Amino acid sequence: MIWHLVSDSASDLHTLEGCRDQMDFSSIPFTIRIGGTEYIDNEEIRIPEMIEANETHSEIAQTACPSPEAWLEKFSAPGPVIAFTISSALSGSYNSACTAKAMLQEEEPDKQIAVIDSKATGPEQAMLVWKARDLILEGKPFPEIERELNETADRIHTSFALASYHNLIKNGRVSRLKGFIAGHLGFWGIGIGDENGEIAIRGKARGRKSMIRFLTEELQKVGLAGSRILISHCMNEKDALALKEALLQAFPGVSVLIQPTRGLDSFYAERSGLIIGY
């Protein structure tokens, strides 16, 4: 029996290591439209081009989540399916996957399908995929895996640091003047994913050293859900590595991993942004 792990592209994962012959992994892309150009969040997406287009276009960009039909195609493979989506508070991807589940189970009522709302994006979503892989390799039954994944989604936390404010300005969350001043004075916006899966601004830090200190203190205050921290970065491996070193000193024995953002999280995090799951 082959298990099928499926995520939308907000997980930042293209592949999943350690699957062996018991499972496979695939992802379904979001679409980002900026001006007259559509960017499909697959392996061919040109992220630097997309980021520059978002910075230079004055109109609000649009994103489109995977359709129920796209999820249904993945769900139709023989064997149990576990799907992972970006926070339902940020996108319709979760509802789209649930619609596909209901459609398929009308025809196959015994089909095992779990749709997990990560209540976050990026690193937290990837960590849930890894958790599912580990539980499958341990031989856990489907109902227990679904229960543990939902419990883990409630425990994992997300923090982020934004160096750019274009999206916030265009969406009216930050005035143009404040955004201009913050950007030119080198302020980072520090935020969290709250318990409802929404984004909340926690504070600001001036300069990369202050940003790293702020994030490290935030993680120490909130506490880790496990022994792993994952950092996703938008074209900013340098600061991701510096944050990793600070976190390794603050949390001895913890594994800190780094991965680049895919298209959707690059759009949200913007140039140099960091997203941390812990």
pLDDT at 169: 60
Q: Structure tokens of 125? A: 């979503």
Residue 175 has pLDDT above 70, yes or no: no
Give, in order, the Cα–Cα distances in Å from 1 to each of 22, 68, 78, 136, 252: 7, 25, 8, 11, 39
Q: Is 29 or 177 the better-scoring residue by pLDDT?
A: 29
As a whole number of angstroms, the distance between CA 134 and CA 146 comes to 13
As a whole number of angstroms, the distance between CA 274 and CA 231 comes to 7
Residue 210 has pLDDT above 60, yes or no: yes
Beta strand 31-34 with 274-277 is: unpaired
Q: What is the pLDDT of residues 104-140, one digit of tens each?
A: 999 999 999 999 999 999 999 999 999 999 999 999 9
Q: Degrees (nearest 5) of the Cα angle 68, 131, 267? A: 55
Residue 20 has pLDDT above 90, yes or no: no
- Nearest to 14, CA basis, from 3, 22, 6: 6
Q: Is 212 or 180 the better-scoring residue by pLDDT?
A: 212
The domains of the chain, with CATH numbers, are: 3-30+65-155 (3.40.50.10440), 158-277 (3.30.1180.10)
**DSSP code at position 21:** T
Cα torsion 6, 131, 252, 200: sign: positive
- Nearest to 122, CA basis, from 224, 270, 271, 266: 266
pLDDT at 198: 67
Q: Which residues contact 156 (CB under 8 A, 6 or more apart)?
A: 120, 124, 127, 128, 225, 226, 277, 278
**DSSP code at position 236:** -
Q: Is 195 or 22 the better-scoring residue by pLDDT?
A: 22
pLDDT at 1: 86
Give the mean model confidence (pLDDT) for residues 166-180. 53
Tell me the backbone φ, ψ of residue 15, rounded to 5 degrees. -135, 170
Residue count (the chain) = 278
Q: What is the pLDDT of residues 68-80, one digit of tens each?
A: 999 999 999 999 9
Confidence band for 58, pLDDT divided at 50, 70 and 90: confident
Q: What is the pLDDT of residues 24-38, one digit of tens each?
A: 999 999 999 999 999
Tell me the backbone φ, ψ of residue 51, rounded to 5 degrees. -60, -45
Q: What average pLDDT does the chain have?
A: 91
pTM of the model: 0.91
Give the mean model confidence (pLDDT) for residues 220-235. 95
Percentage of the residues of the chain whose pLDDT score is greater than 70? 91
* Residue 165 CB-density burial (10 A; 0-12 exposed, 13-18 middle, 19+ buried): buried
Please enumerate, as own/partner, the contacts of 56-60 that have beta carbons within 8 Å and a separation of 24 or more.
58/170, 59/35, 59/170, 60/170, 60/171
